[in-house]
């Protein structure tokens, strides 16, 4: 088996993206586990995770690493969060905000096994519910909501200056009449007083009418 580390904690094993499993023997969403020289890796499916899709399509600016502090908006049942949890390791932390109490039931079980993931049942618009979170290195937003730009700006006060935001934009959640490209550009414009665009990748090969953007906080 051929293994290569492409970013801190992100590996390619025989052309498949993967992360080092923080909790040996545990799968999160039915992904395959691969053992190499005593280490266990979890394959990371680009069809299940927009971050994996962006990485598979050549994302250049990936700075999440061991020890990073991440605020994750729209955690769902923890698919992508769990891979970020692998990357940041026990020295890091992932605050996982999710509005759905049904998704939260599963997320809480996952967080019990992964001590660096903290579940937060809240609407990401109401940041006072989790105002103990501050000075994070990264915000990851995947809320698929019409007011996604406003939600990101509201949460930006928790992001340290010069920190990065990774955002999955679902064009059809924002407008079903506008062209996806127009929706992406409007999103960038709307957050431009707080963030500078660093990179944008069309990930529609894996997720219909979605873009993945990297932003830097001004
Ligand atoms: C596309 S799913 C997220 C998938 C997840 N990020 C992953 O890759 O594993 C979007 C999630 O955002 C949540 N969501 C939508 N609006 C939200 C809000 N205002 N605050 C917090 N979560 C929200 C939904 O309940 C849903 O679970």
**Contact between residue 137 and residue 160 where contact means Cβ atoms under 8 Å apart:** yes
Does some domain include residue 24?
Answer: no
Range of 60's domain? 46-217
Nearest-atom index, ligand 1, CA of 145: 16
Does residue 118 have its Cβ closer than 6 Å to ligand 1?
no
Q: Tell me the CA–centroid distance for residue 97 and ligand 1, in Å.
A: 8
Pairing of strands 136-141, 159-170: parallel
Does some domain include residue 137?
Answer: yes
Token code pair at residue 117: 């993931």
Residue nearest to atom 15 of ligand 1 (CA): 143
* Structural domain count, the chain: 1
> How high is the pLDDT of residue 66?
98
Does some domain include residue 26?
Answer: no
**Contact between residue 55 and residue 215 where contact means Cβ atoms under 8 Å apart:** no
**Contact between residue 208 and residue 191 where contact means Cβ atoms under 8 Å apart:** no
Question: Of 19, 30, 32, which Cα lies nearest the Cα of 83?
Answer: 19
- How many angstroms separate the CA atoms of 89 and 199, rounded? 25
Q: Tell me the CA–centroid distance for residue 75 and ligand 1, in Å.
A: 5
Does some domain include residue 146?
Answer: yes
Token code pair at residue 48: 């299940």
149 exposure class (CB count in 10 Å sphere: 0-12, 13-18, 19+): buried
CATH of the domain at 134: 3.40.50.150
Does residue 49 have its Cβ closer than 6 Å to ligand 1?
yes
Does some domain include residue 91?
Answer: yes
- How many angstroms separate the CA atoms of 96 and 85, rounded? 10
Taking only the tens place, the pLDDT of each residue in 91-113 is: 999 999 999 999 999 999 999 99
Does some domain include residue 142?
Answer: yes
Does residue 76 have its Cβ closer than 6 Å to ligand 1?
yes
Taking only the tens place, the pLDDT of each residue in 131-182 is: 999 999 999 999 989 999 999 999 999 999 999 999 999 998 888 888 999 9
Percent of the chain with pLDDT over 90: 95
User: What is the DSSP code (8-state) at residue 27?
Assistant: -
Average pLDDT, the chain: 97
Give pTM, 2 decimals: 0.98
């Amino acid at each position: 088996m051929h293994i290569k580390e492409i970013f801190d904690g992100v590996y390619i094993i025989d052309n498949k993206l993967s992360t080092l499993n923080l909790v040996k023997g545990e799968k999160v969403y039915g992904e395959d586990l691969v053992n190499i020289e005593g280490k266990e890796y979890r394959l990371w499916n680009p069809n299940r995770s927009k971050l994996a899709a962006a990485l598979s399509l050549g994302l250049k600016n990936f700075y999440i690493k061991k020890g990073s502090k991440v605020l994750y908006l729209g955690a769902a049942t923890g698919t992508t969060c769990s891979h970020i949890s692998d990357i940041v390791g026990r020295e890091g932390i992932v605050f996982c905000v999710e509005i759905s109490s049904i998704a939260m039931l599963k997320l809480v079980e996952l967080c019990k096994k992964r001590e660096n993931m903290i579940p937060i049942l809240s609407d990401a618009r109401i940041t006072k519910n989790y105002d103990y979170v501050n000075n994070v290195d990264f915000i990851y937003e995947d809320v698929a909501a019409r007011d996604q730009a406003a939600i990101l700006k509201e949460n930006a006060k928790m992001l340290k200056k010069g920190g990065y935001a990774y955002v999955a934009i679902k064009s059809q959640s924002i407008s079903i009449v506008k062209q996806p490209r127009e929706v992406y550009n409007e999103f960038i414009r709307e957050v431009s007083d707080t963030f500078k665009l660093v990179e944008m990748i069309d990930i529609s090969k894996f997720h219909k009418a979605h873009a993945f953007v990297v932003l830097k906080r001004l």
